[in-house]
């Protein structure tokens, strides 16, 4: 099955050949320090959405906090532990639910630590989440993110297995080929030295 890639404003989505979808939202250009959110949902009935927040690299990553306080519409939604090496923090199930509700209602989503504050844009989130629901066949079901309904989840796209890629052994044995300079220039014009 072919995948999907779609962008709208500050959000984008990519769904792979297993029908797993990943949606990413970014900060607006004027919102201060950079942050992004990644939402992941596997195909199939009753699959939950997971969410992670990532802070962009800065000049001094040693000042990154150990934890972030999450806020939605200026109300606290709990703490997130930050992996300083990856600058990444996983949201709990309750925080993910609150995040999704805020995104679909144009709420203000931010994380704070000390004097630092990171926020993401909700511009484009509804369109991207709708694409996720549509691709996975969730429109009108109780687990849809945008257009919920009471349709049974029997039409939800099942997860497809990961393709198996088998290494093939070259026939006839391997042998080394040395390219002379003229051949190198012809093959790799951008990399060859003059």
Q: Tell whether 31 is covered by a domain.
A: yes
Q: Tell whether 184 is covered by a domain.
A: no
Q: What is the pLDDT of residue 42?
A: 97
Q: What is the pLDDT of residue 141?
A: 96
Query: Which of 71, 36, 38 minimizes the C-alpha distance to 57?
Result: 36
Alpha helices in the chain (DSSP H): 93-104, 125-135, 181-187
End-to-end Cα spacing for the chain: 46
Q: Tell whether 179 is covered by a domain.
A: no
CATH of the domain at 65: 2.60.40.1880
Q: Tell whether 182 is covered by a domain.
A: no
Q: What is the pLDDT of residue 29?
A: 74
Q: Tell whether 175 is covered by a domain.
A: no
The whole-model pTM stands at 0.82
Q: What is the pLDDT of residue 165?
A: 85
Q: What is the pLDDT of residue 59?
A: 66
Q: What is the pLDDT of residue 184?
A: 46
CA atoms within 13 A on the CB side of 167: 1
Q: Tell whether 42 is covered by a domain.
A: yes
Q: Tell whether 96 is covered by a domain.
A: yes
Q: From its phi and psi, is residue 24 left (phi > 0), alpha (psi between -120 and 50) or beta?
A: beta
Task: Supply the range of the domain harboring residue 117.
Answer: 4-155
How many structural domains is the chain composed of? 1
Q: What is the pLDDT of residue 168?
A: 81
Q: Tell whether 191 is covered by a domain.
A: no
Residues of the chain with pLDDT under 50: 183-194
């Amino acid at each position: 099955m072919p995948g999907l890639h779609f962008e709208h404003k500050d959000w984008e989505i990519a769904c792979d050949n297993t029908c797993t979808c990943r949606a990413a939202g970014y900060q607006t250009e004027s919102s201060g320090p950079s942050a992004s959110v990644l939402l992941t949902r596997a195909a199939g009935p009753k699959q939950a959405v997971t969410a992670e927040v990532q802070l962009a690299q800065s000049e001094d990553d040693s000042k990154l906090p150990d934890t972030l306080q999450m806020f939605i519409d200026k109300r606290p939604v709990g703490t997130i532990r930050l992996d300083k090496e990856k600058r990444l923090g996983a949201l709990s199930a309750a925080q993910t639910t609150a995040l999704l509700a805020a995104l679909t209602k144009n709420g203000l989503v931010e994380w704070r630590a000390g004097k630092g504050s990171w926020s993401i844009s909700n511009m484009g989130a509804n369109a991207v989440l709708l694409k996720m629901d549509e691709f996975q066949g969730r429109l009108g079901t109780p687990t849809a993110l945008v257009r919920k309904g009471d349709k049974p989840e029997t039409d939800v796209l099942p997860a497809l297995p990961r393709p198996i890629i088998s290494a093939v052994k070259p026939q006839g044995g391997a042998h080394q080929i040395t390219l002379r300079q003229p051949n190198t220039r012809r093959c790799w014009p951008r990399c060859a030295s003059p």
